[in-house]
A and B are shown apart, each in its own frame.
Chain A
Amino acid sequence: MELIASLLIISLASIASLKYRWLGWASLVGVVILVPSQPAILLLAFLIILNMLSLELMKRSYLAGVDYGLVAFMAAATIYAIYSTDLSSLVAAFVAVSVPTYMLVMASEERARTDTGIKYITFMVLATVLFLIGVALAVFASQTGDETLYAIAFVAIVVGIAIEVGVAPFHQWVPDVFVSADAIPISIIASLAKFVPFIVAFKILSATYMGNGTLIMVVAFLAIISMFAGNIGALTSREHSRILGYSTVANMGYILATFVILSKPEFLWIAFAGALLQLFANSFGKVGFFAAIKDGGSSPALTYTLALSFIGMPPLMGFWSKVLIISSLAYSGFIWLAVIMVINSAISVPYYIRLARELGAKDIRGLAGLVVALTVIATLLTLLPGWFIDSAKALTAFIGLGGV
């Protein structure tokens, strides 16, 4: 019931915003009525508000005010995906988060960037197709007990989300699109859009997983390639957006690594909490850095805090997320993967510090300054991470598929 009301409000607000751009903010109401009093979801709401706030940094857009509506729509789908255990709803949420980004990625202050859009959309379509085929096959194979078919389905799902979020070696679109698109829409693609693919895949895979350890190794292998490709690629990149593109590739590797917990379901909550917190740490960091890029820089205190969170410096958010991921890897017997992750964190130090130094050459001012400051506050919200872990643990109740 709320979902219908929410979608209605978002649609109306979007239509209204074609006339007056600021009316797009009304779509936030549609999101708010969906938000339960679950701390982790409140944190997500904070991210959504930051996403919409950063849209204000674009003076105009070919989307007029509809971009607010698109973000609200993605947000509604994300919240719904977290709570849903219904297969069709999950698949719908996956598509619902993916499609709006096709339009967002082309948004800029001058014209629609179609060349960027084509590159992006081609990959996304491939990803969505692979994912949908994979889901259908996985559910079918797990019911018939066909392991061969399930193996193909598993890989199709994993490759699908890998292309969707930009896991190496399917990451070619990431650096190009991050550089050629406008900073603000790409900050949304790099943050809000990353949640649903992982959550949906988590739910479907953990419900259907048939105990084939080699498949887990394929996931671990992809995660490692992605960590190294992302972190090493960023080391010599010059443009800030490109560095953040490679940083995304690395972060997606970290999150994908948590999928190895499928072999040890009793520790699933640690992996889930770690993946979710890493998504948040990555999102806030990306929103903050892209806002700083859009504005031509920010205060060093803020950029360094964001960089240190990315690196994983205690007690910032990026530290706790890595601690959780590394513990989950250790619990599932993948100590070596945990070690590789730590090595990768070390490799990432130079380029994050460089980014912080180059972007942190100005004073805080205006709306961009506010957005960056708010992202920094977000990284400090988990100084004591207990509340988040408890909340994430509560959300694991919704992992699984009803009626499958």
Chain B
Amino acid sequence: MSSAVTSTMASDMMPLLAALFLTPILASTPIAFAWAFRKDAPWARKLPILSVFGLFVSFLITLYILFNVEEGTKYVYPWLPAFGIDFVFIFDYLSKYMGALTGLIAFLIGVYGLEYMKDDYRLGWYWFCFNLFTASMLLVVYSDNLLMLLIGWEGLGIASWGLIGHWFRDDDELSYVGNMGRKVFGLNYFWSPSLGGWRAISTIRVGDMPMFFAVAAIYAFAGNLNISEIHWETLFETLGAAGTAILLIAFLMGPFTKSAQLPFSEWLMTAMTGPTTVSALLHSATMVAAGTYLFMRISWYIEPWAFSNAGMDAVYAFVLFLGLISSLYAALLAAGMWERKVLLASSTMSSLGLMFAAAAASKWLGEFAVEVSFWYLIVHAFAKATLFLVAGHLIHVTHDRFCGGDTEVAKKMKLTFLVTAFATISLAGIPPFTAYWVKSAMDEVMHGLIEHGMALPLTLLITISIIYSAFLAKFLSLNFLKGKKVHLHLHGGGLMGAAYTVMVSMLLVLLYLIMTGQEEVAGEFFHEGFVSTSLAVGAAVTVSYFFALMKPSIPQLSTVGRVLSDRLYMPFLNDLIVPKIGWVLVAIVDVCNRGVDFFFHQAIPAFFESASKSIRKIQKGYLASYMRVTLAAVMVLLVISSIVGW
């Protein structure tokens, strides 16, 4: 599949591709400018429709690409000819689906945002960042060239900072994460939007820096930046085992931080300080998915199953276990969470870990593992986006960011309840709903690892699946069935409801594709669903789901729950240890600064002053002493010269 890539210079695609990336950005500039200059004008609050229209245009183009561009096509446009670097757009199996997924989800969340954000105080900022974010993600998706991909990658970073910290005034309790005023060992255990934005961008930078160097190293050693064209095997041979390991880890630092794997998970939890639409977008098809997507994409072309390299093999094993452990950690956290959005954030992190693990298993089980990982990304994206949109709606009507709601909520918000129930059941992996088939394939992948001497991955996956299913049921139960009594402020909500209904219905489309085998790859998953392991896991997951639905909270375990909802005290790494290291660096830099200051402002002037004074001290004014010095110097030089001449 990957070898069938053809390269074309197609000028007729140029306008379409330009429109794909530029329309969302251009369509959001009117609101950005309007907000800067004419915020109070009555037409200003109508401009977001234009932004959403921009997203819609992008979505249509991604659909056109999905259905009309032949798989494996590349479009090349010259960029830096002197360095052999071009704009290369690639339309392969991964990018075609991923692009359409991004386009659709961004558009639906945009529609939802029209209602959700209508009374916001900073619409220009919001919509511009939102659309910039979508365009950046599309650029990441369709880039074959790593340098071009980095443009989108950085666009994601900056736009996510803007969106997470959108409510920068930090004046609304609803936008915080954590219990207000709570302190643990003297550390503030609640996070404001502005702090959340900062934590996001600063964590991501930590990963981006090594990634830049890795890209530079790839260019230096391979002479090419196009993922599909680099001879990875030759490159790895050139670098040797240690070199390959360093290069891959440095490169994957970008995906690890973007996709919030341990120990870089904290920013994702406090990213919940952003508007819910942002959380939905970040946590489904973009940003965090960008990391896993990039890992899948390079694995797709590295083809680690086709050859062996000690360094590469070690890195893939590392990613496999890092993914699984991050996933387990996050699943446990989610089980203990009380905040609606933070619960979902933990569950996202858990899913991302599974994606990394499944894609890394491709080293031993081939391309199929990447496909499983990718399809899980798609299913997860629709389900998670739905759940976030629901959570946003619930926060709107209850004015509470903590889980709460009894059967009255389910009665009054029937559609929301049904959508949530369907989304959780579909995502949990209960047969015969959508995720079950993909999860079955994943079970098979991990099962396949046993033959390679690794039994732990399957054990971990089953454990994670059971916990995962339980906390999804807990989310449903605590918000609609068995939660505390809440007061509902029901008004409007039609547009929001429509958005998440369409979103969740996409899971049915996927189910259809899997069951009928219309989609070749997804059709394969259908057979995996009837393997005994899969059926057993499916049964266990179902039991766990219904158990948690009946008993969403267990008071006897409240201490454990507290530790889990405190995220196993991981914030101490982010908010205490790393800053301390930072302050040490600051102190060192300060000492160096003082040294430089002293050197240039004190030492050098002092040296020249004393040198100057001693030179001027020769001028005593007495001719006799001058002559003595001069004649002596003449004599010395003449003596030297006669020695030299000899």
How close is A80's CB to chain B, nearest CB, in angstroms? 29
Q: Does A88 contact B (CB under 8 A)?
A: no
Size bracket, chain B contacts? 20 to 34
Q: Mark B600-625, 1 if CB is under 8 A from A, else 0.
A: 00000000110111011011010100
Q: Which residues of A are found within 8 Å of B623, using beta-carbon distances?
A: 118-119, 122
Task: Given A148-B646, A152-B642, verify A218-B637 contact (CB < 8 Å).
Answer: yes
B609 CB, nearest partner CB in chain A, Å? 6
Closest to B617 in A: A233
Q: Which residue of B lies closest to A172 (CB)?
A: B626
Is residue B634 contacting chain A, with contact meaning CB distance below 8 A? yes
Given A148-B646, A170-B633; 5 other pairs, CB 8 A cutoff: A172-B618, A218-B640, A232-B612, A234-B612, A236-B616
Interface residues of A in 222-243 (CB under 8 A from B): 229, 232-237
Known: A122-B627, A163-B630. A151 touches B615 (CB 8 A): no
Cβ contact within 8 Å between A155 and B640: yes
Is the Cβ of B619 less than 8 Å from the Cβ of A172? yes
Q: In the complex, are the beta carbons of B619 and A175 less than 8 A apart?
A: yes
Whole-angstrom distance from the CB of A127 to the nearest CB of chain B? 10
Task: Answer whether residue A114 sits at the interface, using C-beta atoms and an 8 A cutoff.
Answer: no
Q: Specify which of B611, B613, B626, B644 is in contact with A151 (CB 8 Å cutoff).
A: B644
Q: Mark A109-135, 1 if CB is under 8 A from B, else 0.
A: 000000000110011001000100000
- Considering only residues 150-175 of chain A, those with a C-beta below 8 Å from chain B are 150-152, 154-156, 159, 163, 169-170, 172-173, 175
User: In the bound complex, do residue A126 and residue B645 qualify as a contact, i.e. CB atoms below 8 Å apart?
Assistant: no
Assess whether B217 is interfacial by the CB under 8 Å rule.
Answer: no
Which positions in A face B, CB cutoff 8 Å? Answer: 118-119, 122-123, 126, 130, 147-152, 154-156, 159, 163, 169-170, 172-173, 175-176, 212, 214-215, 218, 229, 232-237, 347
Q: How far is the CA of A172 from the CA of B619 in the complex (A)?
A: 6
Pick the residue among B608, B629, B642, B646 that contacts A232 (CB under 8 A).
B608
Q: List 27 A-B contacts (CB under 8 A).
A: A119-B623, A119-B626, A126-B631, A148-B642, A148-B645, A150-B645, A151-B644, A152-B638, A156-B638, A159-B634, A159-B637, A159-B638, A163-B630, A172-B618, A172-B619, A172-B629, A173-B626, A175-B616, A175-B619, A212-B645, A215-B644, A218-B641, A233-B615, A234-B612, A235-B612, A236-B609, A236-B616
A-B interface pairs (CB < 8 A), number: 81
Q: Which residue of B lies closest to A158 (CB)?
A: B637
Which residues does B use to contact A, with CB under 8 Å? Answer: 608-609, 611-613, 615-616, 618-619, 621, 623, 626-627, 629-631, 633-634, 637-638, 640-642, 644-646
Residue of A nearest to B625 (CB): A172
Majority DSSP secondary structure for residues of B touching A: helix
In the complex, the answer to whether B627 meets A169 with C-beta atoms within 8 Å is: no
B497 nearest CB across to chain A (Å): 71
The residue in chain A whose Cβ has the minimal distance to the Cβ of B641 is: A155
Which of A119, A175, A214 contacts B644, CB < 8 Å?
A: A214
Are B638 and A155 in contact, with the CB atoms below 8 A? yes
- Give Cα distance in the complex from A55 to B619, angstroms: 28
* CA A240 to CA B590, docked complex, whole Å: 40
Do B641 and A151 have beta carbons less than 8 Å apart? yes
Contact A126 B642 (CB under 8 A): no
Q: A176-B621, A218-B637 are in contact. Are A170 and B615 (CB under 8 A)?
A: no
Contacts of B615 in A (CB 8 A): 229, 232-233
Give chain A nearest CB distance to B176 CB in angstroms: 56
Q: Contacts A155-B638, A172-B619, A232-B612 hold; do A147 and B645 have CB atoms under 8 A apart? A: yes
**Which A residues touch B627, using CB under 8 A?**
122, 126
Q: What is the minimal beta-carbon distance from B639 to any residue of chain A, in angstroms?
A: 9
- In the complex, which residues of chain B have a beta carbon less than 8 angstroms from the beta carbon of A234? 612
- Identity of the chain B residue whose Cβ is nearest the Cβ of A230 in the assembled complex: B615
Give CA–CA (A214, B644) in the complex, Å. 7
B251 to chain A, nearest CB (A): 42
- What A residues does B611 contact at CB under 8 A? 232
Chain A residues, Cβ within 8 Å of B634: 126, 130, 159, 170
Option from A123, A150, A155, A229 in Cβ contact (under 8 Å) with B630: A123
**Are the C-beta atoms of B608 and A347 separated by less than 8 Å?**
yes
B644 in contact with A176 (CB, 8 Å): no
Residue numbers in A under 8 Å from B646 (CB-CB): 148
Counting from the closest, the 7 A-B pairs by CB-CB distance are A151-B645, A148-B645, A155-B641, A236-B612, A233-B615, A172-B626, A151-B641
Contact B613 A154, beta carbon cutoff 8 Å: no
Q: Which listed residue (B613, B626, B629, B637) contacts A155, Cβ 8 A?
A: B637
Which residue of chain A has its CB nearest to the CB of B613? A236
Residue ID in chain A nearest B610 by CB atoms: A236
Query: Which one of B608, B634, B640 has the greatest number of beta carbons of chain A within 10 Å?
Result: B634
CA distance A163 to B646 in the complex (A): 25
Looking across the interface, which residue of chain B has its beta carbon closest to that of A173? Answer: B626
Task: A156 to B631: give the CA distance in the assembly, Å.
Answer: 12
Q: A172-B618, A176-B621 are in contact. Are A151 and B630 (CB under 8 A)?
A: no
A170 closest partner in B (C-beta): B630
A237's nearest neighbour on chain B, judged by CB, is B616
A155, B638: Cα distance in complex, Å: 7
Query: Among A126, A170, A176, which residue has its beta carbon within 8 angstroms of that of B619?
Result: A176
Q: Decide: A212 and B644 in contact? CB cutoff 8 A.
A: yes
CB distance from A131 to the nearest CB of B (A): 12
A contact residues around B631 at 8 Å (CB)? 126
B627, B630, B641 — which one has the most chain A CB atoms within 10 A of its CB? B641
B630 and A126 contact, CB distance less than 8 A: yes
| Chain A residues, CB < 8 A from B637 | 155, 159, 218
Among B612, B616, B623, B645, the most chain A Cβ lie within 10 Å of the Cβ of B645
Q: How far apart are the CA atoms of A149 and B629 in the complex, in Å?
A: 24
